[in-house]
């Protein structure tokens, strides 16, 4: 089956053909670990996860690299403000290292709760300063840099295609910019590769610093992704992802410096961007004080997979609105799905009567449709519709249904295989009555069995029968 992906670089859907047959090099911009990740960030990583699972199911050996930004990301993506990590440390009265470690651990906890795959490489910016300095050296030798006010800048006017990726209109950007300008820059869009300390504007109190050919200091934000992705995936690789907020500045700068360092070798073949999770009053962001995160969902009694299911119901290139009502709706949908899966699993253990050719063929048809839409630029919302049609199709045996659903779950990651009835804490009296009732049912003494059912009901529990199994719910 052909895999089609929307490429931000060409602004159209394209057939996916990796540089090396059967292998995919895949890089994602990771979190800046100065605070918890919010649900918007996690939406982007859910989209990354679906892409990864799709590539694996298409038969590719995937190497997924994701970075942890623990230095150099200033409060404004265009190199203004303070370093977010230093700000986080000040806010909490801790060292930058403590802040980075704590929020990285918290991020990975959320990652696991959402059942995201384990990437092949997690890489930390502060552990790759050497690679970044080497790349800055190359850019210097290739004539793309200048030093000003102590810092090293990338001269965007030297990179002819600078505006191409994001279709930027530099004049408009400049006039609409709300941030104070850095007078050291020759062009508005130039960006810092290396900050040196002693350059008062960028904080001589900066605690993270390294020696360098340009003076003691720290790297600019963008250089880390170019240096680390090339270290782990080579000078050219297949896929790079991030949220749409990165298109205009971060990814535009990553492309400029990467291609300038390798003498204009095309760097990344396919760029994919996930759209935002928004609140009523705009994009969800970390800087907006209180923000929503996985932990809050749990505190309110939601399984984190409800949020995953919520995200899967909207295509990754569409904006998604967050509200508690919408999450509640997803919870109902997810619970219904869970009940169906558990029922199918149960029947699967007992009845195999419809496990004939027609049932197998029909489930195969659903499987083709499901994967066709996943392979069409990750149209998972459509695939979910197909999944529901399969679940409700009476002509397919539960055995075939369950086997097919497990294949779907390799993409969906909703843990179908682990779904089971919540274990109710049943009072001993109810357990006693259930045992007696089971005995009377085996003896086909229906009158007595009904009497026990009523007694159980009086104790606040409802019994449903499934073969000889008795399923119990709280009333
Ligand atoms: P950050 O930790 O801010 O560097 O962001 C981590 C990832 O989350 C990046 O890929 C961002 O593009 C993405 N992101 C940030 N805000 C949102 C949002 N509201 N919705 C979806 N993705 C987001
Ligand atoms: Zn990046």
Question: Distance from the CA of 229 to the center of ligand 2, in angstroms?
Answer: 9
200 burial level (CB within 10 Å; 0-12, 13-18, 19+): exposed
Cα(274)–Cα(51) distance, rounded to whole angstroms?
11
Spell out which residues have Cβ within 5 A of ligand 2, the ion: 29, 225
| Confidence check: pLDDT of 15 > 70 | yes
| Confidence check: pLDDT of 262 > 90 | yes
Residue 465 pLDDT: 75
Cα(429)–Cα(136) distance, rounded to whole angstroms?
74
Residue 442 pLDDT: 87
Q: Among 37, 39, 41, 73, which is best to mutate for testing ligand 1, by the most ligand atoms less than 8 A from CB?
A: 41
Pocket of ligand 1 from Cβ distances under 6 Å: 29, 31-32, 40-41, 43-44, 242-243, 245-246, 274, 276-277, 283-285
Question: Distance from the CA of 241 to the center of ligand 2, in angstroms?
Answer: 8
- Residue 204: pLDDT band by 50, 70, 90 thresholds? low
| Confidence check: pLDDT of 203 > 60 | no
Contact 146, 186 (CB under 8 A): yes
Question: Distance from the CA of 222 to the center of ligand 2, in angstroms?
Answer: 6
The mean pLDDT of 41-48, rounded to a whole number, is: 98
Contact 406, 416 (CB under 8 A): yes
Phi-psi domain of 289 (left: phi exceeds 0; alpha: psi -120 through 50; beta: other): left
Of all residues in the chain, what percent carry a pLDDT higher than 70? 90
- Residue 183: pLDDT band by 50, 70, 90 thresholds? confident
Q: Which ligand is nearest to the CA of 31?
A: 1
The mean pLDDT of 52-57, rounded to a whole number, is: 98
Q: Among 243, 280, 315, which is best to mutate for testing ligand 1, by the most ligand atoms less than 8 A from CB?
A: 243
Cα(453)–Cα(441) distance, rounded to whole angstroms?
11
| Confidence check: pLDDT of 474 > 80 | no
Question: Distance from the CA of 40 to the center of ligand 1, in angstroms?
Answer: 6
102 burial level (CB within 10 Å; 0-12, 13-18, 19+): middle
Query: What mean pLDDT is reported for the chain?
Result: 90
For 180, list phi and psi in degrees, rounded to 5.
Answer: -65, 140
- Residue 90: pLDDT band by 50, 70, 90 thresholds? confident
| Confidence check: pLDDT of 24 > 70 | yes
Contact 253, 162 (CB under 8 A): no
Q: Between these two residues, 354 and 430, which has the higher pLDDT value?
A: 430
Question: Distance from the CA of 461 to the center of ligand 1, in angstroms?
Answer: 46
Dihedral, 39, 40, 42, 45 alpha carbons, nearest 10: 170
3-state secondary structure of 408: helix
pTM above 0.85, yes or no: yes
Q: Which domains does the chain have, with CATH numbers?
A: 4-274 (3.40.50.620), 294-418 (1.20.120.1910), 428-474 (no CATH)
Q: Between these two residues, 102 and 201, which has the higher pLDDT value?
A: 102
Q: Between these two residues, 473 and 307, which has the higher pLDDT value?
A: 307
Q: Among 30, 45, 245, 315, which is best to mutate for testing ligand 1, by the most ligand atoms less than 8 A from CB?
A: 245
Contact 268, 238 (CB under 8 A): yes
Q: Which ligand is nearest to the CA of 73?
A: 1
- Residue 187: pLDDT band by 50, 70, 90 thresholds? very high
| Confidence check: pLDDT of 168 > 80 | yes
| Confidence check: pLDDT of 101 > 80 | yes
Question: Distance from the CA of 242 to the center of ligand 1, in angstroms?
Answer: 7
* DSSP label at residue 236: S
- Residue 141: pLDDT band by 50, 70, 90 thresholds? very high
The mean pLDDT of 39-59, rounded to a whole number, is: 98
Most confident of 105-109, 174-178, 417-421, 461-465: 105-109
| Confidence check: pLDDT of 289 > 60 | no
Q: Among 40, 247, 254, 273, which is best to mutate for testing ligand 1, by the most ligand atoms less than 8 A from CB?
A: 40
3-state secondary structure of 229: helix
Q: Which ligand is nearest to the CA of 240?
A: 2
| Confidence check: pLDDT of 275 > 60 | yes
What are the tens digits of pLDDT across the range 407-440?
999 999 999 999 987 766 788 888 889 989 988 9
Residue 199 pLDDT: 60
The alpha-helical segments, DSSP class H, found in 443-475 are: 446-458
Question: Distance from the CA of 420 to the center of ligand 2, in angstroms?
Answer: 40
Residue 354 pLDDT: 54
Residue 272 pLDDT: 98
Residue 78 pLDDT: 64
């Amino acid at each position: 089956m052909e895999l089609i992906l929307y490429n931000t670089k060409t602004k159209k859907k394209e057939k996916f053909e990796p540089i090396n047959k059967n292998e995919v090099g895949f890089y994602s911009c990771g979190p800046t670990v100065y605070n918890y990740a919010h649900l918007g960030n996690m939406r982007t990583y859910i989209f990354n996860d679906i892409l990864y699972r799709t590539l694996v199911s298409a038969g590719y050996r995937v190497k997924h690299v994701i970075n942890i930004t623990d230095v150099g990301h200033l409060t404004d993506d265009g190199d203004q403000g303070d370093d977010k990590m230093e700000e986080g440390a000040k806010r909490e009265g801790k060292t930058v290292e403590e802040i980075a470690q704590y929020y990285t651990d918290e991020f990975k906890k959320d990652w696991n709760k959402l059942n995201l795959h384990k990437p092949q490489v997690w890489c930390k910016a502060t552990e790759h300063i050497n690679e970044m300095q080497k790349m800055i050296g190359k850019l210097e030798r290739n004539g793309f840099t200048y030093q000003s006010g102590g810092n090293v800048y990338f001269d965007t006017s030297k990179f002819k295609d600078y505006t191409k990726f994001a279709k930027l209109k530099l004049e408009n950007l400049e006039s609409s910019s709300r941030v104070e300008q850095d007078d050291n820059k020759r062009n508005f869009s130039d960006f810092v590769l290396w900050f040196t300390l002693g350059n008062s504007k960028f904080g001589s109190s900066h605690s993270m610093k390294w020696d360098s050919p340009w003076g003691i200091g720290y790297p600019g934000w963008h250089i880390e992704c170019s240096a680390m992705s090339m270290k782990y995936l080579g000078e050219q690789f297949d896929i790079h992802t991030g949220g749409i907020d990165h298109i205009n500045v971060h990814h535009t700068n990553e492309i400029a410096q990467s291609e300038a360092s390798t003498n204009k070798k095309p760097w990344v073949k396919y760029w994919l961007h996930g759209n935002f999770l928004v609140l009523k009053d705009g994009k969800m962001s970390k800087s907006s004080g209180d923000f929503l995160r996985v932990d809050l969902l749990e505190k309110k009694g939601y399984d984190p997979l409800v949020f995953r299911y919520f995200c899967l119901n909207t295509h990754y290139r569409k904006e998604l609105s967050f509200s508690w009502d919408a999450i509640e709706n997803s919870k109902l949908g997810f619970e219904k799905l869970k009940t169906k899966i558990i029922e199918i699993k149960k029947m699967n253990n007992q009845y195999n009567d419809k496990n004939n050719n027609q049932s197998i063929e029909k489930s195969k048809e659903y499987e083709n449709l499901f994967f066709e839409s996943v392979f069409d630029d990750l149209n998972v919302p459509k695939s979910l519709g197909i999944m529901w049609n399969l679940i409700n199709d009476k002509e397919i045996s539960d055995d075939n249904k369950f086997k097919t659903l497990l294949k779907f779950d390799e993409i969906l990651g909703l843990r179908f295989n682990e779904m089971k009835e919540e274990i109710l804490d049943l009072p001993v009296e109810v357990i006693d009555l259930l045992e007696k009732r089971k005995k009377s049912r085996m003896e086909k003494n229906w009158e007595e069995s009904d009497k026990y059912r009523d007694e159980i009901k009086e104790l606040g529990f409802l019994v449903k029968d499934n073969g000889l199994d008795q399923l119990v719910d709280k009333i």
